Chains A and B, each alone.
Chain A
Amino acid sequence: MLTIRGLRKSFGGRTVLDGFDLSVEPGEFVALLGPNGSGKSTALRCVVGLETPDGGEIEVGGNAAMVFQKIHLVGRRNALDNVCSGALGRLALHRSFFFPQDVREEAMSCLERVGLADRALDRCARLSGGQQQRVAIARALCQRANVILADEPVSALDPQAAVQVMELLQALAGDGMAVVAVLHQPELAHTYAHRVVEMKAMVAA
């Protein structure tokens, strides 16, 4: 589902990734652990195209979505609109001014999947951090992703909300998605992930 081979990336002469390999099967939940600067986030950002790798191969069997530590929803809009925006990639511009009814229905089922259908019309800024992160996951589902990359999805959340989000990611892997999460909490990684990959900090080149 997701194969990364020999991924290399450096920022201004500082190498953060030097030949990184990772392979994730459908239905598998992989946790990436490692100190800051070990290139975990950079690897994920390369997969979704937010960074351009210097070398290596990335194969995604389908559609990769990303979930961020800082969540990155539009706080002033309601949960439903934020989830609908996951569908923008397959909407023509003239259909994306107001989300069509079929997209709104699909977005509602995505919100249902993360357990927040009853909050659809609440502004995201009024939801708790954990709820916001679940809305962001619903947005990834509305993108019809089969690979979910989560960059420290629970670092900004309280322990209870973190557990909810981890359980959700695990359940999505159970549905057949490939899930990769960058984590800073080894306990959570070992409890919920099928496999834990430790990354080492690159020595300055």
Chain B
Amino acid sequence: MSVTAAPKLAAPRRRWPAPVVWVAVAVFLAVHVLAWQATEFSPATLIAGWEGMADFLAESLPPDFSVLGKSLEAAVITLYIGLLGTTFSIPFALALALLASRATTSAAWAQQAARAVLSFLRSVPDVVFALIFVTAVGLGPFAGVLALVFHNTGVMGKLWAEAMDESDRGPRDALEVTGASGPQIALHAVLPTVLPSLAGLLLYRLDVNVRSSLVLGLVGAGGIGFLINQSIKLFRFDKMVTHILVVLLLVVVVDQASGWVRKRLGA
């Protein structure tokens, strides 16, 4: 068998990006120039102002550990705000997720309505909810819990609805054939299938909410955020550093704990 050289094929011509790509790149660059100007982005200012930061650090070191007890107490309150804010949003998030997911709700209007409610709750930042509730229930952790319940319902409801959307269609079809109703299918096909993902998302949200409740403290919702705010206002940066170290500890502990449980869940 003789081997003949393959005829030389003409290589396809190299193609340049289409004009629309060039336009997109130009717009992208222009927006960044505008943003650079609007945010007064200036590395020179940062370098020139290094003394301010140095003063700040000098005043904050060594940390004043006399406030450690108070700090830990407040950190526990911050943890509690995050915890209640997460647990109390479970029933609302579950109800709205069941309505919003196409795996559990076939009526398009109900899906749309539930999604609208969820995206409203999600788009209002928890800090704004906190400021609103402070006017109703006064300064303190309770306002923080309420704020988290509202915002977290929006975020967790959406995440849960997406998890349900992605659940296997098969068991749903199988139960539909047995004559099961929509709520029965949700109860016996969708929820048992997605439970580990829902639990994993719940823990992830707990993690985020504990960190958020810190920021809520800054606007008066109690906890360790409130102490940080106080010590800044009194220029007691040495106390502030103690609080921040405690925050660091809290965040790491919650993050590790929820990560550990999520790993066990396989979600």
Q: Which residues of A pack against B, CB within 8 Å?
A: 48-50, 64-66, 68, 70-77, 81, 85-91, 93, 96-97, 136, 139, 143
Q: How many A-B residue pairs have CB under 8 A?
A: 67
Residues of chain A with a CB closer than 8 A to B174's CB: 66, 68, 72-73, 136, 139
Q: Does B249 contact A (CB under 8 A)?
A: no
- Is the Cβ of A72 less than 8 Å from the Cβ of B173? yes
Number of interface residues of B (CB under 8 A): 21
Q: Kindly state the separation between the CA atoms of A81 and B188 in the bound complex, as whole angstroms.
A: 9
- Is the Cβ of B177 less than 8 Å from the Cβ of A48? yes
Residues of chain A with a CB closer than 8 A to B171's CB: 72-74
Q: Which residues of B pack against A, CB within 8 Å?
A: 168, 170-171, 173-181, 183-184, 187-189, 192-193, 195-196
Residues of chain A with a CB closer than 8 A to B176's CB: 49-50
- Is the Cβ of A85 less than 8 Å from the Cβ of B175? yes
Complex partner residue of B177 from A50, A71, A81, A97, CB under 8 angstroms: A50
Residues of chain B with a CB closer than 8 A to A49's CB: 176-177
The smallest C-beta distance from A129 to any residue of chain B, in angstroms, reads 14
Residues of chain A with a CB closer than 8 A to B175's CB: 85, 88
Q: Kindly state the separation between the CA atoms of A91 and B170 in the bound complex, as whole angstroms.
A: 21
Q: With A74-B188, A74-B193, A77-B192 as given contacts, are A88 and B170 in contact (CB-CB < 8 Å)? A: no
Residues of chain A with a CB closer than 8 A to B189's CB: 74, 85
Complex partner residue of B195 from A64, A70, A76, A93, CB under 8 angstroms: A76
Q: Kindly state the separation between the CA atoms of A90 and B180 in the bound complex, as whole angstroms.
A: 8
Q: Which residue of A lies closest to B183 (CB)?
A: A93
Known: A65-B177, A73-B171, A91-B184. 5 other contacts (CB 8 A): A50-B176, A66-B177, A74-B189, A139-B174, A143-B179
Q: Kindly state the separation between the CA atoms of A113 and B28 in the bound complex, as whole angstroms.
A: 67
- Is the Cβ of B184 less than 8 Å from the Cβ of A139? no
Q: Which residue of A lies closest to B170 (CB)?
A: A72
Q: Kindly state the separation between the CA atoms of A23 and B256 in the bound complex, as whole angstroms.
A: 63
Residues of chain B with a CB closer than 8 A to A50's CB: 173, 176-177
Highest count of chain A CB atoms <10 Å: which of B168, B179, B183, B184: B179
- Is the Cβ of B178 less than 8 Å from the Cβ of A86? yes
